[in-house]
Amino acid sequence: MNKIQQVNYSRFWFFIYALRNEYLQFVPDMIIFMLTECQNIDACVMENNNLNSEEVVESIKELLVSEEELEYLKTLDKEILHKLHAELVAYQHRTEELQKPVYKVMAVATQFIPNFMIAKLAHDFLTPYIIAQVCIHMNPRDAAKIGRSLRTDYMGEVAVYGDPVVTARIGDVMDPQLITDVVRQMAIRNFYNKLGELADLMQERVMTQVIQRLRDPIVTAKIVEYMSDEEKVVRLSRDWPRDLKPQLIEEIRNLGKNELADRLL
């Protein structure tokens, strides 16, 4: 065993020891949560009543990270559909709260493991959902460094599962070309709702670089369709590639965003 292997071996066992001791301090909190946590499903239904059926189905798709369109869900009664959505949201919340102490410990443990080893563990043994929850408790720059070693399709799923604000902050400090590759992967799987949400939150400087590298009017227009901040879209449009801007505006118009398209001329 050479010196590098010895260092990594020592780091591994230090990680196991830290995990054991750090985890124990969270056990009382977990027990308290298990005894007291009770989700109010009806409240969740009321909160999401302002969503139409298409938006609810899109949200369910992202919760499940499904590549299926799930169009058949739109045939459900609106009340039943909202109830199903609320149950899924509540289940995800319960799962996140129960596992939060573990994710915090894993975030601490990443400081003692080389990034390429974390990526290997992630690809082989950890779901994108787990990595997304761990990233919540990490410094964005540290999370971005790990992202360099992850597959782009895997990172796309992490983005879907992740807290949008946290994911946006990580994206702000990542290589724009890497972000562009991840966007392409997410677009292939039609995760435009999440892409629009992230585009609203990420720095304009980064979004400008991504759009210029993407050079895909159709994908860009679909992202714009799901963005809420139209003023940001107008500002971003000033730096769109000149040779693609007319087609991009036309694609936005084809998506029913006529007023926005007129502002981009």
Closest CA to 72 of 98, 53, 91, 51: 53
DSSP secondary structure string, 93-106?
Answer: HHHHHHHHHHHHHH
32-41, 146-155, 164-173: range with lowest mean pLDDT: 32-41
Q: What is the pLDDT of residues 235-265, one digit of tens each?
A: 999 999 999 999 999 999 999 999 999 999 8
Residue 138 has pLDDT above 80, yes or no: yes
Tell the burial category of 223 from Cβ atoms under 10 Å away from its Cβ (0-12, 13-18, 19+).
Answer: buried
Query: DSSP state, 240?
Result: S
Tell the burial category of 27 from Cβ atoms under 10 Å away from its Cβ (0-12, 13-18, 19+).
Answer: exposed
Q: Are 226 and 197 in contact (CB under 8 A)?
A: yes
Domain limits, the chain: 1-112
Average pLDDT, the chain: 82
Maximum Cα interatomic distance, the chain, rounded to a whole number of Å: 67
Q: What is the pLDDT of residues 103-121, one digit of tens each?
A: 888 999 898 889 989 999 9
Q: How confident is the model at residue 95 (pLDDT cuts 50, 70, 90)?
A: confident
Q: How confident is the model at residue 48 (pLDDT cuts 50, 70, 90)?
A: low
CA distance 79 to 87: 12
Q: What is the pLDDT of residues 182-197, one digit of tens each?
A: 999 999 999 999 999 9
> Which amino acid type is present at position 175?
D
Q: Which residue has the higher pLDDT, 17 or 226?
A: 226
Return all residues near 148 (Cβ < 8 A) that are at least 6 apart.
Answer: 115, 174, 175, 178
> What's CA 28's distance to the chain center, in Å?
30
Confirm whether pTM is higher than 0.75.
Answer: no
Q: How confident is the model at residue 67 (pLDDT cuts 50, 70, 90)?
A: low
pLDDT at 49: 58
